[in-house]
Homo-oligomer: A and B are copies of this chain.
Amino acid sequence: MSDRSVNLKALAGHLDLTVSTVSRALNDYPDISRATRERVKHAADALGYRPNQNARRLSIGTPETVCYLIPRQHGASSQPFIAQLLSGLGEALNERNWDLLVCQADASAGDLETIDRLVTSGRIAGLVISRPLKNDPRITLAQDLGCPFVVHGRSDHCDNYAWYDVDGEDGFFTAVNHLVQMGHRRIGFIGGPLEYQFAQERLDGYLRGLSHNALAHDPELVQIAEFTDEGGSAAAGLLMEQPTPPTAVVCVTDMVALGTLEALHARGIKPGEQVSVIGYDGLHFGKHANPPLTTMAQPQAHAGRRLGDMLLSIIDGADPRSFHELQRAHLVQRNTDGPAPVKAGQNDVSVREDKQ
């Protein structure tokens, strides 16, 4: 245990040295004699001296602190990986004894003000922005302020800054190909609000999957939902009520996919048999869904650590444009994907029958 009351001055007095010498000894200045350096460090340990960080940071001119912007919940548990992300970020920061601040701030006006305040009042030296919109004012703000930042995800134009992302476009392309290989020809898509760049990308991947397989894009087969199970359920309902419902549905997130399963159950349709469903995220929970959810799993283990390292490098002066890291999602096959029903295209899983 240390004592908050022992400061440099007290330590110096104890050693019969000046604060100047003691400070340099502690910071390994080369012009301090080895004997003195060791004596100082020893005493510092013994007295439990810890430099006051506010004073130190004021003096060296950096807050040695970075802020992670928690996105506001746009639907339940919109940040399933937040604990892991924070711990990775913290790991990178800890190596330098930097601190991690968290602050809930999305792209809304009041929150931009909060970010502005944080950087202009000298509290943070860098920013981690997550879940960016296509055109995200937080990114513009950080740029205008000259505040180093990294983005978890990408916005519309992402050439000028550092980001770490998982390739959702590729993920949905992969999911669609997988379904086509299983014989599906009518594949629906339940997406999220397109102001989010990742929602757009996932839609793009779906569309590319269709055209790659020479399937027509039927706008009726594309539904936009909130990122919740309720959202997914409602959207899936609309899909299944169509004259020719899809035999497979790809969903923007696992949560949305769970809602889709629910909608299918409600209509007496068997997921994985009559209608295939593929989610995206790879939530551990999906394993326990009914039936276990097939999904495109994002590799999330290293996101925090990588973002933290990138940000630190940029603060050190590295070119942000040199950090563009794109990971791939991979298919985790559980039980909601299966071969297309034999009479695909004219299959009989329409809700109308159930309603009678």
Contacts and interface: CB of A to CB of B under 8 A. Distances in A.
B100 A53 contact: no
Nearest to A61: B54
- Interface residue tally on A, bucketed by range: 35 or more
A95 interface: no
Interface stretch (A24-32, A80-88, A201-209): A80-88
A124 to B, nearest CB: 9
A101 B63 CA distance: 13
Contacts of A52: 58, 121-122
A73 interface: yes
B54 A58 contact: yes
Given A58-B54, A83-B77, A101-B100, A1 B141 contact: yes
Interface in A201-247: 229
Interface in A71-129: 72-73, 76-80, 82-84, 86-87, 90-91, 94, 99-104, 114, 116-117, 119-123
A20 interface: no
A298 B48 CA distance: 42
A90 to B, nearest CB: 5
B102 A100 contact: yes
B120 A53 contact: no
A58 to B, nearest CB: 4
Interface string A27-58: 00000000000000000000010111111011
Contact of A87 (B51, B70, B145, B229): B70
A258 interface: yes
A100 to B, nearest CB: 5
A121 B123 CA distance: 17
B121 A288 contact: no
A120 B50 contact: yes
B121 A53 contact: yes
A183 interface: no
Nearest to A293: B288
A337 interface: no
A101 B101 contact: yes
B50 A54 contact: no
Given A101-B99, A101-B101, A83 B58 contact: no
22 contacts: A1-B141, A2-B116, A48-B120, A50-B120, A53-B63, A53-B122, A54-B63, A54-B122, A58-B58, A70-B83, A70-B90, A72-B87, A73-B84, A86-B102, A90-B102, A90-B103, A94-B114, A99-B123, A229-B284, A229-B287, A288-B289, A289-B290
